[in-house]
Structure 1
């Protein structure tokens, strides 16, 4: 089976950090995802609030750089949680266990994606275009790299939300 969720939204609260018995970081927050659409010529929007959980290095990075209102793209898996409340009532909810994240639209945080799930974190880069090879760049390569960076245009994801065209799927 396949269980993958990708969301772009804003955090509704600061990351709540704690540490498990084995010392692994656990972070909890929620994300608000807004869908804009038009019905009978009237512009409308609906917002979903979804609880999210970060683990390990992802939780530590999220806690360091993200605050309430931060825009973030998360990839993870959908989880169904069940419990009994104080009155003995059975309760349940869906939440997202974050596996990867990309911090969007913040000047004080790294602007590129970071894959902070299990692995060797010291060799990982916030830059998804960074080479995995550890070799010296020549001045020629550095000059070409700088020219390519200037040509990359920033994409505003909110601009695509207001598109009223019907999708073919």
Structure 2
């Protein structure tokens, strides 16, 4: 049995970075700050998020820097070849399948809701 599930709740680090493709697909990138439970750790952990389809559209319309959101998805690694050295590089990314808008209406300018690609 294998399992790759990530669940996070935190604050968005910047406004959504949205790209539309000729195929009609939409992709949204976000960063998420999550505080680790620790007595002496005041710095958050930062995660790169990738959302697609209707979930990306919801993020584009309702998520802003500082918004409190919850996400569920899977961990993947984006890899590329460094232009200067030719070395293979990678970075972890959370591919979001489910997005929850949390917090008050003032936090998000939208009522709290839950969205995922399988519902659309």
TM-score range, shorter chain: 0.7 to 0.9
1:91 paired with 2:89, answer: yes
Q: Cα gap change, 1:36/1:23 in structure 2, threshold over 3 Å: closer, same or farther? A: same
Gaps of 5+ in 1: 122-169
1:63 aligns with 2:64: no
From the CA coordinates, give the structure whose radius of gyration is larger. Answer: 1
Equivalent residue for 1:101, pick from 83, 99, 102: 99
> Alpha carbon RMSD of aligned pairs, Å?
1.5
**1:54-76 residue CA offsets vs partner (Å, 9 max, x unmatched):** 10000000000001111100000
Alignment partner of 2:14: what SS?
coil
So what's the TM-score if we normalise by structure 2?
0.87
Which has the larger share of strand?
Answer: 2
Query: C-alpha displacement at 1:46, in angstroms?
Result: 3.8
Query: What are the Cα deviations for residues 131-156 of structure 1, in whole angstroms up to 9, with x where unaligned?
Result: xxxxxxxxxxxxxxxxxxxxxxxxxx
Conservation of the 8 A alpha-carbon contact between 1:14 and 1:66: yes
Q: CA deviation at 1:89?
A: 2.8
- Select which of 43, 47, 56 maps to 2:44: 47
Tell me which of the two structures has the higher relative contact order, counting C-alpha pairs closer than 8 angstroms and 6 or more residues apart: 2
